[in-house]
Structure 1
Amino acid sequence: MMENSAANLTRRKPKKSKKNWKKPLIITLSILIVLGGLGFIFQKELVRLAFNMFASGTVKEALDKSYKAVGNEEAPVVEHTDPFSILLLGIDQRDNEPSRSDTIIYSVVRPEDNKVLLLSIPRDSYTEIVGRDVKSKINSAYAHGEAKMAIDTVEKLLENKVDFYAAINFHGLKDIVDAVGGVELPIKKNIENKLKIHEKLFVEANKPIYNGEEALAYVRYREDSDFNRTMRHRIFLSAFMNRALEVKNLTKIPDVIKIAGSNFTTNMKSDFIVDFAEALYMKDSIPTISNYMLKGDGKMRSGTWYYDLSEDDLTYVRGMIASWLDPNTTQLIEPDTKDEADTAAETN
């Protein structure tokens, strides 16, 4: 009898102990659930606080140094909630070469709709270069008259205004990409320059993340069509934007701006950029990006290859831009990207 009692007593002890540790565990889980719920409810407020702590101050100082007016013109006054246009210029200056704009993207931002239109203009497009009274490749405008001539030429071509410009030298791209931990790129086949006249580069396919050097090679690759090269530029821009807008990269924004440094110029005032960036971070999702490239056909003139733009396509694009810039537009003209999707499927 005593042995059975002792055995029963021994068996009951763990039950009592188990009951004791259950209480603090339940309390702890309850606290975590409550804190998690509060974190979700106040997520935007926390993001705003983090942005103001880590980004706005130092970013504003760095952007002030990158400001460069267009001639004697001050930047237009635009509310960061209104649609506005930006001419994005990628300057790929190499040794003993003029500073031509290898990437020319006319973009429209609609902050209220959280939408962005990226319209690529092929660098070899044959058009009037405003200020020189000649017709030539559009990328020569920046080489002869920097941002002002590039803006005037694009406005003449598209018959729509350019509110702002942002020019970045590709020399700064490598470190900027590394600062945000690399980018995701949809590379399905190895990319490699094989011609002797081009710099050697190689990018391995199907990697989850690509570093700055690989991203630079991705946008610089020349040994296919200008159509595909321009499409890669837009793909990279979208990938970098998605990466930079991740909340975990908030603290890296000052480093990104500092790295850009002398490689970046714009006529956007720092207050405008900071307010706009904060508004982006406060959205429930990243911006929806729509892409399009001006269409045309290649043609040789005096031994030089040019890209003749389609007049029908120009008319279509001009109307599309106008609808995006109109704050009262309820039904945007969305770009038809079927041809681009088919080309991407064939080349990736």
Structure 2
Amino acid sequence: MKGLKIFSVIFLLVVGGAGGYGWYLYSSMKETASQIYEPREKKKSDLREEEVSVHKQDPISILILGVDERKGDMGRSDTMVILTVNPRTNSSLMFSIPRDTRTEIPGKGIQDKINHAYAFGGAPMAVETVENFLKVPIDYYIKMNMEGFADVINTLDGVEVNNPFAFDYKGIPFPEGPIHLNGKEALMYTRMRYEDPRGDLGRNDRQRQVLKAVITKAARPSILMDLSSLLKSLGTNVKTNISPEELQQMAVDYRSATQQMETLQVMGKGTKIDGVYYYQVSEAERDRIGQKMRGTLGLN
């Protein structure tokens, strides 16, 4: 989420910054982009013949990870969202992979929940596991600390969503219909799943709701007024393998494609194996999702 917000903010600075103040804001954003950057260990996905180039406006895929990291504990990826963006067709695709999805963890020789991949090897292992699951290349990742998510939402003065049904979660009421969420409320709204009749699938829908709301609000020019607070929050809560130069290019060439976003749902069924709950996704369903991704990426 925050990574996409960076695209929007940089875009505004590049095309709308004026005089010395505009250059100051742009320089500050570049500093933050450098701070959150984690250089890639490998230059391209094994599922690609050539490395993608945002300077050539190649379609790209991004794995967005929401993690609960604590001191001495890498944690697990509580949220896994895939975003594919094609600036050539001005289109994008977004979907969530349920955290309990059962799949092979590459190099471990085991079947496990897909969100455990992050605990085994951080973002690179999560990327490799998703690629193995869908047989589609993942070019970049953005990982965010879920606890820092509230700070960014507060900097944006909250977000608006349309809640499909009323519920309470940890003492916070969420009425049905259009509601305004502050940072803490947005975090709780995206975490509840046991009271949702659709379980993790319903929670995934709410995560995508908030993600879209953040992208829309971050594109408003008024975001510049709170830039210093936003930069501080981004710099301490986000890591990505997208370089500052790539972020700058994406802000110019990819931003409009994220406004034409298709969403879909990974279908499956819950089951217990040896007393552990898993979400089972058939090979046919993985092929369907992979085909949609390849279509957006121009790989069909």
**Alpha carbons of 1:60 and 1:47: their partners in 2 closer, same or farther (altered >3 Å)?**
closer
Q: 2:267 aligns with which of 274, 280, 295?
A: 295
AA matched with 1:303: G
Equivalent in the alignment of 1:249: 223
**Alpha carbons of 1:280 and 1:252: their partners in 2 closer, same or farther (altered >3 Å)?**
farther
Whether 1:136 and 2:107 are equivalent positions in the alignment is no
Whether 1:62 and 2:36 are equivalent positions in the alignment is no
Which runs of 5 or more residues in structure 2 are unaligned? 1-10, 45-50
AA matched with 2:93: L
Distance 2:254 2:264 in 1: 22
Whether 1:172 and 2:142 are equivalent positions in the alignment is no
Is the Cα–Cα contact under 8 Å of residues 50 and 250 in structure 1 kept in the other structure?
no
**Alpha carbons of 1:155 and 1:237: their partners in 2 closer, same or farther (altered >3 Å)?**
same
Size of the aligned set, in residue pairs, is: 277
Is the Cα–Cα contact under 8 Å of residues 91 and 296 in structure 2 kept in the other structure?
no
Once the 2 structures are TM-superposed, how far is the Cα of residue 253 of structure 1 from its aligned partner? 4.4
Q: Cα deviations across residues 257-291 of structure 1 (Å, max 9, x unaligned)?
A: 3212232110000121123224456x5x9611111
Once the 2 structures are TM-superposed, how far is the Cα of residue 185 of structure 1 from its aligned partner? 0.7
Whether 1:116 and 2:92 are equivalent positions in the alignment is yes
Once the 2 structures are TM-superposed, how far is the Cα of residue 47 of structure 1 from its aligned partner? 7.6
Distance 1:129 1:253 in 2: 39
SS for the counterpart of 1:106 is strand
Whether 1:185 and 2:185 are equivalent positions in the alignment is no
Q: 1:261 aligns with which of 235, 241, 245?
A: 235
Once the 2 structures are TM-superposed, how far is the Cα of residue 119 of structure 1 from its aligned partner? 2.1
Which runs of 5 or more residues in structure 1 are unaligned? 1-43, 194-198, 330-348
Distance 2:78 2:204 in 1: 9
SS for the counterpart of 1:85 is strand
SS for the counterpart of 1:299 is strand
Once the 2 structures are TM-superposed, how far is the Cα of residue 74 of structure 1 from its aligned partner? 4.6
Is the Cα–Cα contact under 8 Å of residues 54 and 249 in structure 2 kept in the other structure?
no
AA matched with 1:276: M
Identity of aligned residues (%): 31
AA matched with 2:146: F
| 1:38-77 correspondence to structure 2 within 5 Å | 48-50=15-17, 52-53=22-23, 55-70=25-40, 72-74=41-43
Structure number with greater CO (CA < 8 Å, separation at least 6) is 2
**Alpha carbons of 1:179 and 1:114: their partners in 2 closer, same or farther (altered >3 Å)?**
farther
Q: TM-score if structure 1 supplies the norm length?
A: 0.72
Once the 2 structures are TM-superposed, how far is the Cα of residue 207 of structure 1 from its aligned partner? 5.1
Rg comparison, structure with higher value:
1
**Pairwise CA RMSD:** 2.7
Once the 2 structures are TM-superposed, how far is the Cα of residue 87 of structure 1 from its aligned partner? 0.6
Equivalent in the alignment of 1:340: none
SS for the counterpart of 1:231 is helix
Distance 1:124 1:118 in 2: 19
